[in-house]
Chains A and B, each alone.
Chain A
Amino acid sequence: MTRHEMTRKEFLKATAGAVAVTACSGTASAAPEKPGPKRGVSIYSYSDDLFKTATLEDCLAAVGDLAADGETIGLEILANSHIEGYPNPSDAWVARWHELCAKYRLKPVEYGHWVDSKLRSEKPPWLSTKESYEMLVRDIRLGSRLGFTCGRTKLGVIDGQLTPVQNWREFITMALPVAEKLNFRMMPEIHPPTRLKSKMIDDYVDFIEKEKTTPWFGLNIDFGVFQSGRTGSGAPPGQPGGRSAASEPTGGAGARGGMAAGAREPSKVEEMIPLLPYVHCCHAKFMEMDDNCEETSVPYPEIIKMLVDHKWSGYLLSEYEGEDRGRGGAFQAVRKHHVKRLDYQDQAVMADRAHDLSVPS
């Protein structure tokens, strides 16, 4: 039997114990895990079904069903949208949340939240530094209470390049001690039209290095930054023009006034390598899955290989934005995403191990 003919179970057995993996929480995992990124799903993927055709528990069950025997799947929620009674859920709701995570073997990983600078008005003055800090800390506390160790900390923006509000450094700095105390990593999401090589990223990295924020403030990379081939058509997948660009806030249409021109040029996968020390989980964005379970607009084999090669072991949270979401397509699309995702990782790990074995130490 060649390596490529190994089943996943055999593969896991063969590699068991080979690598000690550190979880996003910073606690050493008890069981040996597959080297490389861990699997997770953002409940955002199911937005068109949630509360219409599916309850929150239905969505959690669907995520849990992606697991191999004994495996735990990571989870992202959107605080505002998915927590009943947000920002003040009842104790009963919080207890139920923990019960459901245990029932479906889910690990709360990333808590999506917003610093809503435009809370009072679309025009400046927006939230003061103190108000922003208070909103941020309220979310860190709630996220931590629900078991999350990462936050997708969405900041208000001031322009079409999605440059964050001017006082972001101040309120993030103020929140760092709380984040550290509660084991919570704040991460702005790097999302198109932002590119990995840009002033915004330079500014974030300067701040991270200067203030020594790792791991309490870092970056979440949305794989939309690697996406190519968008046409802006809403046509169904498989039909001419059937790419799902319209769902991305990349602009182009007049209604998106102010968004960056030329934003569709994707970043290169290798541009993520220097950022990896700051990245604790990612949005594994995908837009359409064919019947071979391939995502054709995002270079997943290359991304996964890069992450495995660099021994990055955070969570990839599948985030679906396909056009068939409104027709109930999200549940199957997420399942498809995890099929090839595992294959790519197995292949990358095997290639890595083959390389290690062939290099005399």
Chain B
Amino acid sequence: MLEKEIIQENGFRNVRQNGQVVGFQVRYRSCYYRSVWLSMSLGFDVSVDGETFPRDRISVTVGGRTYTQEQMKTTTEVQWPISEAAILTVSKPGGLKPGLHEVEVGWGHAASYMPMEMANMPRRPQSPTVGAAMRGMMPFTEKRKIVLVA
């Protein structure tokens, strides 16, 4: 099962290739009540301790397959299930130091049954008073302090 928090602590780790740390991963679950087609995702943004990473350095793994954010835009037959945290892999040579980090993830999605264009909306922290049905509806940012061990 998923952690109640949107940004998941389990899975926060550095990524190694050929013995070199090439980046890190963080898992992010949808807080929207509906699974969405990858093409309707409006993209993921990641910052750690104030350092923001461009989208072309953030890939997304869903259902065991990894997509660039450009590839997601044309992937109309695959859903990001609400039962599964997306794994965000961020390219960062050397990775992150073990310890507590403040991780911020921004995400938004298109909704056919809502009249507005979500892509044009700024991503802001989600209001604590936003109602249950609206959570994850508007583009928003989420922040959490989590520990990276290795």
Q: Which A residues contact B (CB, under 8 angstroms)?
A: 44, 47-48, 50-53, 55, 78, 80-81, 84, 86-87, 114-123, 126, 154-160, 162, 233-235, 244-249, 255-259, 321-323, 325-326
Using A48-B132, A118-B111, A323-B132 as known contacts, say yes or no to A257 and B35 having CB atoms under 8 A apart: no
Residues on A with beta carbons closer than 8 Å to the beta carbon of B147: none
- Determine, out of B46-54, B78-86, B96-104, the stretch whose residues face the partner at the interface: B78-86
A-B contact pairs, 7 of them (CB 8 A): A51-B83, A52-B2, A52-B3, A156-B113, A246-B129, A247-B130, A321-B132
Q: Shortest distance in angstroms between B80's beta carbon and chain A's nearest beta carbon?
A: 10
Contact with A along B11-41 (1 / 0, CB 8 A): 0000000000000000001000111110110
Contact (Cβ within 8 A) B34 A80:
yes
Residues on B with beta carbons closer than 8 Å to the beta carbon of A325: 132
Contact (Cβ within 8 A) A122 B118:
yes
Residues on B with beta carbons closer than 8 Å to the beta carbon of A87: 79
Point out the residue from A80, A120, A126, A258 that lies within 8 Å of B116, measured CB to CB: A258
Using A122-B110, A248-B133 as known contacts, say yes or no to A259 and B1 having CB atoms under 8 A apart: no
Using A234-B129, A257-B116 as known contacts, say yes or no to A246 and B134 having CB atoms under 8 A apart: yes
Q: Shortest distance in angstroms between B144's beta carbon and chain A's nearest beta carbon?
A: 15
Contact (Cβ within 8 A) A119 B40:
yes
CA distance A30 to B50 in the complex (A): 65
A-B contact count (CB 8 A): 119
In the complex, residue of chain A having the shortest beta-carbon distance to the beta carbon of B85: A51
Contact (Cβ within 8 A) B33 A259:
no
Other A-B contacts than A78-B33, A81-B82, A160-B115, 5 sampled, CB-CB below 8 A, are A80-B36, A87-B79, A122-B118, A244-B131, A255-B138
Residues on B with beta carbons closer than 8 Å to the beta carbon of A123: 117
Point out the residue from B110, B129, B133 that lies within 8 Å of A321, measured CB to CB: B133
Q: Shortest distance in angstroms between B95's beta carbon and chain A's nearest beta carbon?
A: 28
Residues on B with beta carbons closer than 8 Å to the beta carbon of A247: 130-134
Q: Say if the beta carbon of B76 comes within 8 Å of chain A.
A: yes
Which B103-124 residues have C-beta < 8 A from chain A? Answer: 110-119, 121
Point out the residue from B1, B111, B129, B133 that lies within 8 Å of A51, measured CB to CB: B1
Q: Shortest distance in angstroms between B103's beta carbon and chain A's nearest beta carbon?
A: 19
Residues on A with beta carbons closer than 8 Å to the beta carbon of B64: none
Interface size on B, residues (CB 8 A): 40
Q: Shortest distance in angstroms between B66's beta carbon and chain A's nearest beta carbon?
A: 19
CA distance A59 to B110 in the complex (A): 28
Point out the residue from B33, B115, B133, B137 that lies within 8 Å of A81, measured CB to CB: B33
Contact (Cβ within 8 A) A118 B131:
no
Point out the residue from B29, B110, B119, B131 that lies within 8 Å of A234, measured CB to CB: B131
Q: Say if the beta carbon of B4 comes within 8 Å of chain A.
A: yes
CA distance A116 to B36 in the complex (A): 10
Using A51-B2, A258-B115 as known contacts, say yes or no to A116 and B37 having CB atoms under 8 A apart: yes
Using A51-B2, A116-B40 as known contacts, say yes or no to A162 and B121 having CB atoms under 8 A apart: no
Q: Shortest distance in angstroms between B32's beta carbon and chain A's nearest beta carbon?
A: 9
Contact (Cβ within 8 A) B131 A246:
yes
Q: Shortest distance in angstroms between A236's beta carbon and chain B's nearest beta carbon?
A: 11
CA distance A50 to B35 in the complex (A): 13
Contact (Cβ within 8 A) A80 B79:
yes
Residues on A with beta carbons closer than 8 Å to the beta carbon of B132: 47-48, 244, 247, 321-323, 325-326
